[in-house]
Amino acid sequence: MTTATAADVAAALRSADAVTILCHVRPDPDTLGSGLALGQALAALGMTVEVAYPGDLSLPAAMAALPGADLLVPAGEVAGHPVAVSVDAATLGRLEELGEVFGRAERRIVIDHHVSNSGFGTLDFIDPSSDCTASLVLQIVDELGVELTEPIATCVYAGLVTDTGSFKWARPASFGVATRLLEAGVDGATWSRRLLDSHPFAWFHVASAVLADAELVQSACDGAGLVYSTVPHALLSSMEWDESEGLIDLVRTAEDAEVAAVFKESEPGRWNVSLRSKDTVDVTAIARHFGGGGHIRASGYSIEGTADEVTAALLRAVGADVR
Ligand code: MN
C-alpha cells in the first residue's frame, strides 16, 4: 500500500467546494475530534462542510460540547458532497450505512492511524506511528495554512488525550503536539476531566456491581491469570452506551491477571466480549477463536448463550483449570 502524505491530502482538499466528513460508528473523541477539527479548518477556508457518524445514538455530553459540533448532521440527512473524508475508521464497514455515501463520492480520502487499515479511499493517508488520527488532521491543517485556533486545537486535543489514555502510552511526538495545542489555548485540565474522568452518578452502581462480580482464574493462560466479569442486559441497559466502554479499563487493573475480559449482554443471550492483555498474551488469538479480532493487547468478539455458557467457553479456550 502506498500511503499519501498530509500535503497530498491538503492539495486534494484545497480545490474542493464542499466536503463530507465521516466518523466511525459509536464515535469516540478521536474520530469526532478529527472530524470537527478538519471541518472547522475547511469551513475557515470558505467550504461547505458536513460532519456525520452512522446510527442515531446521541453524543455523550462531553463530545457534544466540542467546538464545531454545529457542523454535525444526522446520518439520515447527509447530503454527500463530491469530496468525502473518512477519519479514524479502520475499515469501510466502520462507517456502516454511511459507507454508501463515502463510496459514491468522486474523491474519497481516508485519514487513519490503525495499523490494520489497508486503505479504502482514492487517497489513503494512514500512519500507524501516530498515537491518534487527530494528530494527522493537525498536519493537514498546517499544510492547508489554516491558523491553529483554540476551537480547532481543542478538537485535536480531544483525540490526543483520549487515544493516549491521558498520555500514559503517548509516544514522544505526541508531547510536542500537546505543547502546541495547549499554547493555542486549549483548557487541557477541563477537557481531560470531561472526556476521561466524568461519570453520571448512576454509573457508580454499575461499576461496583461489575467489580463485585469479577472472578480471578489464576490457572488460565498457562498461569498468567484471567480476570473477568459479566454485565447482564438489565444492568447494561441502565447505563449510557459510551459508559459501558470503560468497564474493561477498571477490570484490567487487576495486577494478578495478565488477561482481562468483560462480557456485555447487548441483547438477551447475546454478548460482546472485550479482551485486554498487559505484556505476554496475544488476545487476538483468543478473539479469533470466537470469530472476532483486534489488536495484540486489545480485541473482542461476540457470542451467544447464557452467562455461564459464554464464560465457560472462554475459560476452556484459555486453558483454565476449572470443573
Ligand atoms: Mn483513534
- What is the tens place of the pLDDT at every residue in 131-150? 999 999 999 999 999 999 99
Residue 47 Cα to ligand 1 middle (Å): 25
Is residue 225 within 8 A of residue 256, CB to CB? The reply is yes
Is residue 243 within 8 A of residue 203, CB to CB? The reply is yes
Residue 315 Cα to ligand 1 middle (Å): 31
Cell of 244: 459501558
Residue 164 Cα to ligand 1 middle (Å): 9
Residue whose grid cell is 475508521: 89
Q: Which of 28, 31, 72 is nearest to 49 (CA)?
A: 72
Residue 225 Cα to ligand 1 middle (Å): 29
- Using CA atoms, how far apart are residues 72 and 165, in angstroms rounded to an integer? 26
In order of their start, the domains of the chain are: 6-196 (3.90.1640.10), 202-317 (3.10.310.30)
Prediction pTM value: 0.89
- Using CA atoms, how far apart are residues 85 and 249, in angstroms rounded to an integer? 31
Residue 34 Cα to ligand 1 middle (Å): 9
Asked whether the predicted pLDDT for residue 128 surpasses 70, the reply is yes
Average pLDDT, the chain: 95
Longest Cα separation, the chain = 67
Residue 275 or 201, more confident: 275
- Using CA atoms, how far apart are residues 176 and 246, in angstroms rounded to an integer? 27
Helix (H) or strand (E) holding 21: strand 18-23
% of residues, the chain, pLDDT over 90? 87
Q: What are the angstrom distances between the C-alpha of 305 and each of 2, 102, 179, 248? A: 43, 36, 49, 21
Residue 92 Cα to ligand 1 middle (Å): 15
Residue 129 Cα to ligand 1 middle (Å): 12
Residue 322 Cα to ligand 1 middle (Å): 38
Asked whether the predicted pLDDT for residue 323 surpasses 70, the reply is no
Residue 131 Cα to ligand 1 middle (Å): 7
3-state DSSP assignment of residue 20: strand
Predicted pLDDT at 96: 97
Residue 284 Cα to ligand 1 middle (Å): 18
Is residue 267 within 8 A of residue 261, CB to CB? The reply is no
Residue 159 Cα to ligand 1 middle (Å): 7
Q: Which of 80, 119, 121 is nearest to 101 (CA)?
A: 80
Residue 28 Cα to ligand 1 middle (Å): 8
Collect residues with CB below 5 Å from ion ligand 1: 30, 88, 132-133, 163
Residue 157 Cα to ligand 1 middle (Å): 12
Burial 267-283 (b: 16+ CB within 10 A, else e): eeeebbbbbbbeeebeb
> Dihedral of CA 153/155/160/165: which sign?
positive
Mean pLDDT across the stretch 224-241? 92
- Using CA atoms, how far apart are residues 271 and 251, in angstroms rounded to an integer? 17
Confidence of residue 238 (pLDDT cuts 50, 70, 90): confident
Helices marked H in the chain:
6-14, 29-44, 61-64, 99-103, 133-144, 150-163, 172-183, 188-196, 202-212, 233-237, 247-251, 283-289, 307-317
Asked whether the predicted pLDDT for residue 186 surpasses 70, the reply is yes
Residue 168 Cα to ligand 1 middle (Å): 15
- Using CA atoms, how far apart are residues 94 and 91, in angstroms rounded to an integer? 6
Kind of pairing between the strands at 298-304 and 270-277: antiparallel
Predicted pLDDT at 180: 98
Residue 49 Cα to ligand 1 middle (Å): 22
